[in-house]
Structure 1
Amino acid sequence: MKQIRLGLYQFGDRLIMRARHDWIVWTLVTAEGQARWREERRFPLTVTAAGIVRDLLAS
């Protein structure tokens, strides 16, 4: 699980997680809608839904 430094978060901020293929993107968005912090991380395809479906079809 991703941990954010406590000083980075302010009241009203939202943490959004999006998954695309084998990439997961975390974005901390302010109440005004501006991105305060963003991190992208790549995971093996077997961890993602696309990888699970691909593994099921292959078996």
Structure 2
Amino acid sequence: MIIKLLYLAVNLFFLAGILLSPYSPASKVLMYIAMSLILAFAFKRLSKEEGGGEG
């Protein structure tokens, strides 16, 4: 549960940073997709390690 809240907080932080950046809308969308994928991968590994590391 804490991992999900932390993920949401970090994701919103990056979203705010991207929205405030002076890039074009298409660049903002691509940056947000890339950051979301990186965050999802990082938090998936983090939650797996915290959960006991199955496999």
TM-score, shorter chain, exceeding 0.5: no
User: Which range, TM-score by smaller chain?
Assistant: 0.3 to 0.5
- State TM-score, norm by structure 2: 0.33
Q: Which has the larger radius of gyration?
A: 1
Q: Give the number of the structure with larger relative contact order, counting CA–CA contacts within 8 Å between residues 6 or more apart.
A: 2
